[in-house]
Structures are given as structure tokens and as C-alpha cells.
């Protein structure tokens, strides 16, 4: 990375941001550090932008797209079909204006629809409250006559109407009680009484939990009001259908809305970076980072834009602030997924992807080890890459990694003779009664011990690779002696142990040599006799237990290979026990699908563990910050940039 400092005229800000967006390789740093300095704060302040308004427009267009998808029943299938678009068309003002108009129109229709739906709910609620009184042929506003009082009210559904009438009669009141209707919850009554007896009637009804019902601003009978409400509901639903129809008709502009959504995200990125620039109204200033191989291109653009700039290598004090961009080829780039999930390396550290890629892909295929599963993974990867062209931070790495893992799985499957377990063997036996088996170099079931030994050897190779990287880093820092006495000593221990195991070197000689090497190496840098003794014994204990546990951890390669093969064969044998080819195929495919899904995730998790713990633990320095340049990140289109 190169540190970039730029000074330009403030009125050229929009053109400058547009050009940097086109280049897509400059990260503008936050100016908080500068503004914390009173001298800088007195001269410059943060730039302003329309970021809030742009984010509001993003919300509006996303809402419009969601409404079109819901009401127009548009389907994208499994993946969004991204289509290429030229940068000129992407930035075209005509496209923006049309999409903005559609977005606004759909938003207004959604507001109308929401209002109408709320109104419908209110109308239906009023209708529901009137429905129990529909059979009452009396205007609801009628409160009584010159000498009588009319009261509508309700009692709990379990109320005994006869008991209520008996109580009213016993109270010696001039009262009539009519049960208008009833449901499980309530009974609905009309009470007519003489005005002089109104208070006595209320006291009599109180033990029955009688509650007066009143309809404010309602005239006419309940039935007449229900009919009027039905007409209003019908008109409301007709208006809702018109609003939905208008939204559905906007579906033809969905592609334009999608381009607009991506365009707004680019505008939001520009606005966010505009607020990182410092200005006094006349000039603007910003600092940032640019990859060294693209610095010339950026400098040429700045020169054409009339800017003053300088680029420099980061100083030692700036190392912790330098963003990290991993630079890999087609084979190692998919491993960015693993590195991103763990943590990016420090800027002055080592990119682990080229070192990790061969081991990760090899180990994954070894654990899956089935030609059928490998073919499925390759086919899925190719299909998704062709149809969806994933561009997200995870999917664009995960799908190619799936394909590479599929190739490794197929190769290991060819070595072990596995094709959905022993599917071919069982189906040939069912159909012809003959014996058939794919050629295999070894079998996970019959050669478990050799496979275990091979797994441990692969573990030793990866651990040795991590140690070698650690030695390289120490030598580069000028700590060659420390590297020789630490990793170098253990290299010699493993070498001497291996020679003794092969019989090349007498065991006694090897043991003496190992002791001498460890004493010399592990006592290096320790002060005093006590310190050296502690260093030797502590180093031996940590080294032996650490290396032993790390290398033994690679036995999982054999364990998962064996487990996957056994599960597949068990399901195949269960299907074969039916004696029917169709039933066999169904049971075998269901079982293999479950086995495939389980191993697809399980092998990834175990492979991640080997890389992140056993391998990275030897040399890796994390803590890097991701490089996030001002760039156009799209969801719906692929931009073809003009040079």
C-alpha cells in the first residue's frame, strides 16, 4: 500500500469522487485523527453531503422492489439474474429519472394501500360491533320516549335470561327485557323501562354484569348501518385493487429500479467518502491508501484533475493503520473466505492463502473422498457461477472453493473407488447378481491404519511448513539465531527421530543428539542457570505436547473419510435389503443426500480447524484491517467499465 495525500479545489469534489469511484482502488481515511489536532480543526472541517437523503431514496426503491415482488408475483428463481451494463448507461441521468419516478409512484400507491387497509380494518371492526344487533328493528339513536328509557347492553354468555327477567319482576319495576342475540362470549339485550324505575333497574342488573352499549353518531337501524358499511368496504377493496394493479403495472420497470438501487448504493458510497474529506470551502484535503501497483493510474488521474498529491510508503508508526488487500490468483483467491472468517493478516505479516490453499483443498477432498459427491460439487459450482455470477463478499469466494473442493473430492474418490459409497456395486448385484467394484488404490475400510499414517504424515508436512514460515519471518526481522534455536532445534529433533525410526541411526545416538540439541536450543536467550533450566524443561514439555497434539489432530482426516464411506455403504445396504431396484435407488439416494449434506459442512469445519489452529498457530499474525476502497458494489448488474 501507498499512503496518499491529496489537495484539490473544493468545487471539483464531485468530479474527483466520480473519478475515484471509477478507478475503484482508493480508500479515503477517516479524518478523526486530524480533527483531534486543534491546528487542523481550526483550518478545516468535515465535508457535507446528501448521504441522509440518498439513504432515504435507497429505502424507498428497496420498498418499491419488495412491493413489486409481492404483488406482481415476480420470481427470480434460485439466483438473481445479473446482467451486464455499461458504465455510461449505469450513470445515465435518463435511467435515473425514470426509475425515480416509478419508485415515487409505487411509494405513493403503497401509502394509499396502507391507508385503505387500515380503513378497511376500521370498517370491518364497526360492522362486527353492529352485527349482534342486526335483528333489532329500532333506530340505534333511539334513547326512549317521554316516559320510558331504552337501553342496549350485554351480559356474559353464560347469563340465564330467565333469571334476569325474574329478578326484574321481583324488583317490582315497569320493565321489559328482550334478548336480541347471543354468542359464546356475550348475550345482547334491549331493556325498556319507566324513567322512574331506571335506577332500580340498573341496580337489579348489576349482579348480572350488565354493561350498557352505546353507538355514538350512529343513526338508523343496525341492519341499515351494516348495509352502508358493506358498500364502503366494497368501495375500499375496489380502491385497494386499483392500487395493487398500479403496482403490478410498474413491474415492467423492475430492471430500471434495480439499476437505480445499485446506482444509489454507489452514490451513498460517494457521499460517505465526501464526508471524510476536509474542507474550508475553497480547497479540500484527504488522506487515503492505494495499492502500489495502481498508484501510477491514480496519480495520472489526479494530474488530469488539477490536484496536488503525494504518495509514500507507510511509516513504522502507521503499520497498524494500513489496510490489507490480499493479492492472489484464481487458485488461492477462494481461500479468502477462510482468511476473512478467521482474521486478515497484519500488514507486515504473511498472506496465508498461497500456503494454505494446497493443504485446505487436499484435506477437504480427502475427508469427502467420493467421486459422486465430487461431481455434484463441481456441477453446483459451475452452475452457480454461470447463473448467478456471485459478487458478494462471501459467495464470490465460497462457490469457487466449492468447485476446487469438488475436484479434490473426485480425485480422492477415484483413489478409494467410492461413487456414492458402493452404489454401483450394490445396483449391479441387484440387477445381474454379479460382482462389480470400481478399481481403487486403497480402501478406507480395509486400509484404515495406512490411511491414518498417511494423515499424520500430511499433518507433519503442514506443521513443518508453518514452522518454515515462522523461521523465514524471524530471519527477515534479523532474529536468525532465535529461529535456529527454536524451530531449527525441533526440525533436528524430528529428523533425528525419523532416522532412528528407520534404523539409519542407532537409537542411543539419536537420543543423545536430541538431548544436546534441545539443551542448546531451548536455553538460548535465557539468563542464569535457573532460567536456562526452566527454559529447557518448559520448552520440552510445551514442544512435545504441542507438536504431538497438533499432529495427532490430523487423524480426523482418516476419521471423516472412514465415517463418510461407512454411512454411504450402510444406506446402500439398507436399500439393497429390499431386493427392489426402485426402492434401493430411493433409499440409497436419500441416505447419500443426508451423508453429502452432513459431510459438506462437517469437512469444512474440520478443515477450518486444522488451518486456523494447527497451521496458523505456527506463524500467523492477525489484526489486519480490510481494504475498502471507494468502489461500485452492485447486487443486480455487472458494470462494464470504460477505460
What is the average per-residue pLDDT within 465-481? 89
- Model pLDDT for residues 534-554, shown as the tens digit of each residue: 777 777 767 777 788 899 999
What is the average per-residue pLDDT within 435-441? 90
Q: What percent of the chain has pLDDT over 90?
A: 72
> Got the DSSP string for 243-284?
HHHHHHHGGGGHHHHHHHHHHHHHHHHHHHHHTTSEE-SSEE
Whether 53 has a pLDDT exceeding 90, the answer reads: yes
d(CA 494, CA 486): 13
Domains 2-48+275-324 and 142-214 share a fold: yes
d(CA 409, CA 502): 32
d(CA 464, CA 448): 24
What is the average per-residue pLDDT within 378-387? 92
Contacts of 452 (CB under 8 A, 6+ apart): 555, 558
Contacts of 275 (CB under 8 A, 6+ apart): 46, 47, 48, 49, 51
DSSP code of residue 83:
E
Contacts of 225 (CB under 8 A, 6+ apart): 126, 130, 140, 218
d(CA 281, CA 302): 20
Residue 243's φ and ψ, nearest 5 degrees, are: -65, -40
Reported CATH class of domain 142-214: alpha beta
Contact call for residues 510 and 497 (beta carbons, < 8 A): yes
Rg (CA), the chain: 39
Grid cell locating 43: 483550518
DSSP code of residue 47:
-
Q: What is the pLDDT of residue 643?
A: 61
- Model pLDDT for residues 103-157, shown as the tens digit of each residue: 999 999 999 999 999 999 999 999 999 999 999 999 999 999 999 999 999 999 9
Band the pLDDT of 392: cuts 50, 70, 90: confident
**CA of residue 174 relative to chain centroid, distance:** 74
Burial class for 559, CB neighbours closer than 10 Å (0-12, 13-18, 19+): middle
Q: What is the pLDDT of residue 620?
A: 92
DSSP code of residue 622:
B
Residue 305's φ and ψ, nearest 5 degrees, are: -90, 5
Whether 285 has a pLDDT exceeding 90, the answer reads: yes
Query: For all residues of the chain together, what is the average pLDDT?
Result: 91
What is the average per-residue pLDDT within 349-366? 95
Residue with more model confidence, 280 or 483: 280
Give the domain ranges of the chain: 2-48+275-324, 142-214, 351-432+451-486+524-618
Whether 195 has a pLDDT exceeding 90, the answer reads: yes
Contacts of 534 (CB under 8 A, 6+ apart): 526
Q: What is the pLDDT of residue 594?
A: 96
DSSP code of residue 334:
G
Max Cα distance, the chain (Å): 127
Whether 533 has a pLDDT exceeding 80, the answer reads: no
d(CA 239, CA 123): 14
Total-model pTM: 0.81
Contact call for residues 389 and 82 (beta carbons, < 8 A): yes
* Pure H helices in 502-555: 507-522, 528-552
Q: What is the pLDDT of residue 78?
A: 67
Q: What is the pLDDT of residue 497?
A: 84
Handedness of CA 257, 260, 265, 271 (dihedral sign): negative
* Pure H helices in 394-486: 395-416, 423-432, 448-476, 480-485
3-class DSSP assignment, residue 638: strand
- Model pLDDT for residues 590-639, shown as the tens digit of each residue: 999 999 999 999 999 999 999 999 999 889 999 899 999 999 888 888 88
- Model pLDDT for residues 58-82, shown as the tens digit of each residue: 999 999 999 999 999 887 766 777 8
Q: What is the pLDDT of residue 233?
A: 97
Q: What is the pLDDT of residue 297?
A: 95
Run of H or E residues at 180? strand 175-182
DSSP code of residue 172:
T
d(CA 143, CA 346): 84
CATH architecture of 2-48+275-324: 2-Layer Sandwich (3.30)
What is the average per-residue pLDDT within 474-503? 84
- Model pLDDT for residues 566-586, shown as the tens digit of each residue: 999 999 999 999 989 999 999
Amino acid at each position: 500500500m501507498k499512503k496518499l495525500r491529496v489537495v484539490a479545489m473544493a468545487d471539483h469534489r464531485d468530479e474527483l469522487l466520480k473519478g475515484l469511484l471509477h478507478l475503484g482502488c482508493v480508500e479515503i481515511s477517516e479524518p478523526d485523527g486530524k480533527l483531534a489536532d486543534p491546528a487542523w480543526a481550526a483550518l478545516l472541517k468535515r465535508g457535507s453531503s446528501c448521504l441522509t437523503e440518498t439513504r432515504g431514496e435507497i429505502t424507498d426503491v428497496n420498498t418499491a422492489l419488495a412491493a413489486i415482488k409481492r404483488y406482481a408475483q415476480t420470481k427470480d428463481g434460485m439466483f438473481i439474474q445479473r446482467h451486464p451494463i455499461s458504465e455510461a448507461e449505469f450513470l445515465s441521468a435518463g435511467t435515473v429519472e425514470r426509475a425515480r419516478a416509478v419508485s415515487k409512484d409505487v411509494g405513493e400507491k403503497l401509502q394509499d394501500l396502507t391507508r385503505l387497509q387500515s380503513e378497511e380494518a376500521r370498517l370491518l371492526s364497526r360492522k362486527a360491533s353492529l352485527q349482534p344487533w342486526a335483528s333489532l328493528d329500532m333506530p340505534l339513536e333511539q334513547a326512549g320516549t317521554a316516559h320510558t328509557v331504552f337501553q342496549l347492553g350485554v351480559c356474559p354468555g353464560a347469563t340465564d335470561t330467565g333469571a334476569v327477567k325474574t329478578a326484574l319482576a321481583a324488583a317490582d319495576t315497569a320493565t321489559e327485557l328482550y334478548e336480541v342475540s347471543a354468542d359464546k362470549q356475550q348475550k345482547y339485550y334491549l331493556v325498556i323501562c319507566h324513567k322512574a324505575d331506571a335506577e332500580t333497574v340498573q341496580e337489579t342488573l348489576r349482579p348480572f354484569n350488565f354493561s350498557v352499549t352505546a353507538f355514538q353518531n350512529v343513526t338508523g337501524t343496525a341492519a341499515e348501518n351494516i348495509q352502508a358499511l358493506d358498500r364502503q368496504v366494497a368501495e375500499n377493496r375496489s380502491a385497494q385493487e386499483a392500487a395493487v394493479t398500479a403496482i403490478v403495472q410498474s413491474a415492467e420497470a423492475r430492471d430500471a429500479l434495480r439499476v437505480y438501487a445499485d446506482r444509489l448504493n454507489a452514490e451513498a458510497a460517494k457521499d460517505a467518502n465526501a464526508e471524510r474529506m476536509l474542507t474550508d470551502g475553497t480547497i479540500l484535503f484527504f488522506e487515503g491508501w492505494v495499492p502500489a501497483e495502481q498508484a501510477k493510474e491514480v496519480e495520472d488521474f489526479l494530474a488530469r484533475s488539477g490536484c496536488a498529491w503525494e504518495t509514500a510508503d507507510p511509516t513504522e508508526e502507521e503499520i497498524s493503520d494500513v489496510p490489507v488487500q490480499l493479492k492472489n490468483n484464481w487458485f488461492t483467491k477462494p481461500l479468502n473466505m477462510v482468511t476473512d472468517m478467521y482474521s486478515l493478516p497484519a500488514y507486515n505479516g504473511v498472506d496465508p492463502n498461497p500456503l494454505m490453499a494446497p493443504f485446505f483443498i487436499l484435506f477437504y477432498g480427502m475427508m469427502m473422498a467420493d467421486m459422486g459427491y465430487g461431481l455434484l460439487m463441481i456441477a453446483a459450482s459451475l452452475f452457480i457461477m454461470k447463473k448467478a455470477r456471485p459478487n458478494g463478499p462471501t459467495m464470490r469466494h465460497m462457490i469457487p472453493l466449492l468447485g476446487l473442493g469438488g475436484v479434490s473430492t473426485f480425485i480422492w474418490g477415484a483413489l478409494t473407488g467410492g461413487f456414492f459409497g458402493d452404489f454401483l456395486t450394490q445396483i449391479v448385484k441387484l440387477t445381474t447378481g454379479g460382482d462389480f467394484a470400481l478399481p481403487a488404490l486403497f480402501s478406507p475400510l480395509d486400509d484404515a491404519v495406512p490411511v491414518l499414517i498417511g494423515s499424520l504424515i500430511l499433518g507433519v508436512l503442514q506443521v513443518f511448513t508453518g514452522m518454515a514460515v515462522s523461521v523465514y519471518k524471524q530471519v527477515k526481522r534479523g532474529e536468525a539465531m532465535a529461529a535456529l534455536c527454536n524451530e531449527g532445534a525441533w526440525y533436528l529433533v524430528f529428523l533425528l527421530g525419523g532416522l532412528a525410526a528407520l534404523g539409519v541411526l542407532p537409537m542411543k545416538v539419536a537420543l543423545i543428539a536430541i538431548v544436546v540439541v534441545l539443551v542448546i536450543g531451548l536455553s538460548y536467550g535465557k539468563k542464569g542457570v535457573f532460567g536456562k533450566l526452566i527454559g529447557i524443561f518448559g520448552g520440552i514439555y510445551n514442544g512435545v505436547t504441542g507438536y504431538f497434539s497438533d499432529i495427532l489432530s490430523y487423524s480426523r482426516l482418516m476419521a471423516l473419510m472412514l465415517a463418510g464411506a461407512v454411512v454411504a455403504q450402510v444406506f446402500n445396504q439398507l436399500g439393497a435389503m429390499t431386493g427392489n431396484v426402485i426402492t434401493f435407488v430411493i433409499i440409497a439416494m436419500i441416505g447419500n443426500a443426508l451423508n453429502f449434506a452432513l459431510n459438506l459442512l462437517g469437512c469444512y469445519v474440520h478443515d477450518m480447524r486444522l488451518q486456523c489452529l494447527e497451521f496458523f498457530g505456527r506463524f500467523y499474525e492477525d489484526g489486519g484491517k480490510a481494504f475498502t476502497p471507494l468502489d461500485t458494489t452492485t447486487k443486480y448488474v455487472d458494470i462494464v467499465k470504460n477505460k
